[in-house]
Structure 1
């Protein structure tokens, strides 16, 4: 494999590792910790292996007790390195046979292989530049927990896995269910050797190999190379050695092994997460949520209070001065709700709106739930729960947030209307006119009572001026009061509409902050997770 191809393969692997890590980080708090921890362990192993010698390919020999694994290891080495006699019938710790010692020490230290053998040249493994490490490992069915732990650890570390089976136990469920099937994605770096074929009649060997190939296909390893060999007679050993040599020369094993690990980890994340994307947030759903929250927060009560407060204030400022003082005896609707103050005062104040009833709380819960359900539609189970959970968390903050939003909304309650001043001046002029007429008549009455000369009163069409002043002043006052109510009603509607719009904006801002944004964050997190997982899978 050329240097350019190796670099390209390494770059592709790096992108997949980064995608897997991004998916793991995005899934924090959504997927089970065990799955995320397993992914993190894989990423750490991959990082460690890539920092070690890329010039060495680590090939591990795995097998059950009695499979002749150590004998085959010796045969491939061309030397009696591993003891396979009755003195030590099972391998108790890893043994390394190394071609190309230079640069192998840190890698072997990382693998925790202490027994190391500098191998001699043998048919294809001829010199120091070969860069091959063969490992003879403990039996995977060992009764020793320590030995089994070594095997399970090495299955996750070596670059190439050579499974040594024997004719008696090649279909044993233990090796297939516990090791081969879980490693189905690693077919590119797996070699299966049926050892001890010398114990079979020559005519049966092809049939047994075919049977083994069928079992492996069911395990998901249909493309794995299956070889027959006999460590005792040497039959097929050259083919095993040639297959290993081919892998070493291709320089692809490390990348292929880690790529298979990434694919497996990505499949585990996908299996835990499920498939699919969330529908996301639509404008219509935000509008419905805002409307429901506004109703639950008694915005209609505030809007009505704004209208009534304006009418009250208009009457107090433009009504007939003789009776307008009576308006002050009625409480201001906005003041009763503690909504007269805005700005700095509103930061610490709350409204005096009635606490939400059970029906209003149910309305709020339903509105939030419907919004979250619509946004999470299509999302797989764990992510749907995360999206809904974000909405529920925001729901707990809504009562205080909505109340504060209403309290801090400037309803322009203190803003005066231009027509108030005009009507007020006219009302006082009408009153003064009527009072002037009364005063004039009063003076005339006093003069007559005292038997003093009474001056002639000017008349219009036979009506005395004082009488006309009284009648005109009172009539003008009543007319202005009536017109004032008409003006006040129209302006109150406009003021209420403006308040409704401002309150709706405040409620929408709360909904956006407490519900929409957290939900949108989870929706986008799912999108990013799926994208990262796609990268990790190399798609």
Structure 2
């Protein structure tokens, strides 16, 4: 049994439990106690005789010793202090252990097959003197093995069974129940009482705990069987290690149960499907504040402004400058600023609701110890703070490199507009010449419905129509490019928001899951 490894796992479990905000005082006490016990060294182990008033603990110790070690009599309670019966050859190495236990009444024995056992007779656990039970409760966590002593009158005592046997069953690998004073029973009744006691223990899940019967006062019947149990245990040099390991395992298990970890498994508080659904809902509500339609309008305006400078010919620079000087560009053609002002378009409350619903659904099956830590994840202020940070980071990353798209087609349309402008100048000169020259020769073209139309008028109309078509083409193409651009921007922001929600809004939940997984891992290697 590697107690050092178990202590490492307990330390890991304590750290994980602290991360959950759960108390760890009992576990740290187990760790400190185990390290202290290991530091005391020695091969001998300590077994305590524990039982109620008048069950014959002191008489049993005296029968084991063959002489009076502990006072036994009709006065109750008889034992008011712990008494130790230790092998003489191990007295030196047991001194530090007895000092740690606070036991100063010590009797020695020559060994006689029990050279590795120190036996303690403890005060009564049901004594009228409260300090006696307090002393038992103080010493029991430090004892290596226990012989629970009962008699025919008290073998079903609720205090013994509920407060001690059941509570300490998993922490004491080496324990025995001794049914003493069977000489008080009529002939043939001892077997029936022993079987009844055995059934009580089995029902309590203590099937591995042996039951012995003794008559400590009259002939010491059964005492040799108890001695054999003690010597059999003493042959195993791992009694102390197994006791400490069991205590550590129970401490880890207690921490794990508080964190909803059972049998070394930490099932997720919420399923991956529900988590992804909540993520989509949160991201959708967050994107609604970004306002894809408004962003598209801004993108279209900004793109058309850029297209106007390139594709409207000699008037493009002038009209673009007038557009900017009027302030319309800042108000309706600035996608980056529009993105950064997302807070002005609504509240984050709808976006936080899916997270709150997710947490609420996870609470009912959790132990009461873990619920506060998980319920804290549903605090609106915390959720909205995390959401705001996620949206801000996603928008900042996008707005920092936001560039209005451009197209070669716009330059080609701009070149065409220059040609249109030149032709308009030519048409203007042509019309001016009609007023300057005497009787200019002007041809005409016969058109359906309109009849003959002068060539200059027809030329001017064609040039104007070409300019209008180029302008319309520029507008339509710029709008198409802008809408595609806006959709890409929204898609990138959505992806950024989702990834940052995982890393901010879901971060506390991930931390809880990680701590629970560490607890589960600690249970498997001790």
Q: TM-score, normalised by structure 1?
A: 0.80
- Specify whether residues 92 and 333 from structure 1 end up closer, same or farther in structure 2 by C-alpha distance, changes over 3 A only: farther
Equivalent-residue separation in structure 2 for 1:98 and 1:18 (angstroms): 32
Deviation at 1:297, TM superposition (A): 3.6
- Specify whether residues 97 and 335 from structure 1 end up closer, same or farther in structure 2 by C-alpha distance, changes over 3 A only: farther
Do residues 314 (structure 1) and 301 (structure 2) align? no
The answer to which of 397-406 and 189-198 deviates more is: 397-406
Deviation at 1:160, TM superposition (A): 0.8
Equivalent-residue separation in structure 2 for 1:487 and 1:336 (angstroms): 19
Deviation at 1:161, TM superposition (A): 0.6
Deviation at 1:480, TM superposition (A): 1.6
Equivalent-residue separation in structure 2 for 1:41 and 1:219 (angstroms): 27
Match of 2:398 in 1: 409
Deviation at 1:484, TM superposition (A): 0.9
Equivalent-residue separation in structure 2 for 1:413 and 1:373 (angstroms): 43
Match of 2:147 among 140, 144, 162: 162
Deviation at 1:164, TM superposition (A): 1.9
Match of 2:448 in 1: none
* 1:27 partner SS: helix
Matched pairs, number: 503
Equivalent-residue separation in structure 2 for 1:263 and 1:510 (angstroms): 39
Do residues 507 (structure 1) and 500 (structure 2) align? no
Equivalent-residue separation in structure 2 for 1:208 and 1:528 (angstroms): 47
Equivalent-residue separation in structure 2 for 1:377 and 1:415 (angstroms): 49
Deviation at 1:444, TM superposition (A): 6.4
Match of 1:6 in 2: none
Equivalent-residue separation in structure 2 for 1:433 and 1:318 (angstroms): 17
Superposed, which structure 2 residues align to 1:145-160 within 5 Å? 145-160=130-145
Gaps of 5+ in 2: 446-451
* 1:101 partner SS: helix
Deviation at 1:469, TM superposition (A): 6.7
Q: TM-score, normalised by structure 2?
A: 0.82
Match of 2:15 among 13, 16, 25: 25
Instruction: Give the superposed CA RMSD.
Output: 3.7
- Specify whether residues 386 and 90 from structure 1 end up closer, same or farther in structure 2 by C-alpha distance, changes over 3 A only: same
The answer to which of 300-309 and 480-489 deviates more is: 300-309
Match of 2:353 in 1: 366
Gaps of 5+ in 1: 1-9, 342-348, 449-453
- Specify whether residues 412 and 465 from structure 1 end up closer, same or farther in structure 2 by C-alpha distance, changes over 3 A only: farther
Checking the alignment, whether the CA contact within 8 Å between 1:319 and 1:424 is kept in structure 2 is: yes
* 2:18 partner SS: coil
Checking the alignment, whether the CA contact within 8 Å between 2:54 and 2:76 is kept in structure 1 is: no
Deviation at 1:248, TM superposition (A): 0.8
- Specify whether residues 202 and 252 from structure 1 end up closer, same or farther in structure 2 by C-alpha distance, changes over 3 A only: farther
Deviation at 1:62, TM superposition (A): 1.2
Checking the alignment, whether the CA contact within 8 Å between 2:84 and 2:105 is kept in structure 1 is: yes
Match of 1:81 in 2: 69
Do residues 47 (structure 1) and 25 (structure 2) align? no
- Specify whether residues 417 and 391 from structure 1 end up closer, same or farther in structure 2 by C-alpha distance, changes over 3 A only: farther
Deviation at 1:57, TM superposition (A): 0.8
Match of 2:109 in 1: 120
Deviation at 1:187, TM superposition (A): 6.1
The answer to which of 320-329 and 393-402 deviates more is: 320-329
* 1:210 partner SS: helix
